[in-house]
């Protein structure tokens, strides 16, 4: 028996069609989930959101205009999350606004959340896999390097990286007339 061929009426053609149908159905479901979030969040104009967004408590999220959110981003908004205009979140970023009370033990620890808002300024860029913890403010124009964990406030206009994230150097200024300020 030589190579198997897919042709009209063959089982492999049916498998291909079934896989295509499943793929299209999953993509449709993903778009419905994003529409659900968008209807409950306060969102500016021209916001782009890629597949895989997960939002806990979307009513606590405010997203400015011209924001780009890449794939597989988590917004855990037990407290408020505010994302400024012209900000970019790369893939697999996590923004967390609550944590469990470390002083509690047992079942009591599961039920006790400490909440704090997160604010990300305008013109910011969070690299791949950045985690932002509760109570943090990231200043306008700040870039946070891939894989960083932001545990405290970061000043505006800086390039920051590390675990925990720390300012490394000043972000280069934008040349005059090269885009929105």
CA distance 66 to 144: 19
Question: Global pTM?
Answer: 0.80
Calculate the average pLDDT of the chain.
88
109 assigned to some structural domain = yes
| Contact between residue 121 and residue 140 where contact means Cβ atoms under 8 Å apart | yes
pLDDT tens sequence across 66-97: 999 999 999 999 999 999 999 999 999 999 99
Could you give the number of structural domains in the chain? 1
CATH of the domain at 159: 2.160.10.10
Q: How much is the pLDDT for 113?
A: 85
Instruction: Check 23, 100, 123, 152 and give the catalytic one.
Output: 100
Its domain, for residue 153, covers 41-170
Q: How much is the pLDDT for 1?
A: 47
pLDDT tens sequence across 21-73: 777 787 777 777 778 787 889 999 999 999 889 999 999 999 999 999 999 99
Q: Is 23 labeled as catalytic in the residue annotation?
A: no
Residue 76's beta-bridge partner residues?
A: 56, 96
Q: How much is the pLDDT for 63?
A: 97
Locate all alpha helices (DSSP H) within 41-160, ordered by sequence.
Answer: 107-111
Q: How much is the pLDDT for 104?
A: 82
176 assigned to some structural domain = no
139 assigned to some structural domain = yes
In which region does residue 157 sit, left (phi positive, over 0), alpha (psi from -120 to 50) or beta (all else)?
Answer: left
CB burial of 82-119 (b: ≥16 within 10 Å; e: otherwise) equals bbbbbbbbbebbbbbbbbeeeeeeeeeeeeeebeebbb
pLDDT tens sequence across 116-152: 999 999 999 999 999 999 999 999 999 999 999 999 9
């Amino acid at each position: 028996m030589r190579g198997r061929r897919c042709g009209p009426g063959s089982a492999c053609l049916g498998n291909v069609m079934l896989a295509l149908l499943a793929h299209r159905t999953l993509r449709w479901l993903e778009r419905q989930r994003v529409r659900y979030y968008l209807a409950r969040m306060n969102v500016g104009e021209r916001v782009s959101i890629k597949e895989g967004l997960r939002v806990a408590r979307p009513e606590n999220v405010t997203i400015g205009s011209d924001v780009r959110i890449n794939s597989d981003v988590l917004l855990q908004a037990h407290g408020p999350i505010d994302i400024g205009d012209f900000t970019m979140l790369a893939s697999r970023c996590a923004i967390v606004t609550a944590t469990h009370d470390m002083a509690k033990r047992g079942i009591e620890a599961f039920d006790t959340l400490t909440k704090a808002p997160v604010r990300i300024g305008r013109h910011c860029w969070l690299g791949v896999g950045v985690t932002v913890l509760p109570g943090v403010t990231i200043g306008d124009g700040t870039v946070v390097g891939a894989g960083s964990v932001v545990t405290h406030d970061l000043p505006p206009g800086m390039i920051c990286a590390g675990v925990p994230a720390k300012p490394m150097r000043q972000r280069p200024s934008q040349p005059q007339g090269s885009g929105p300020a």
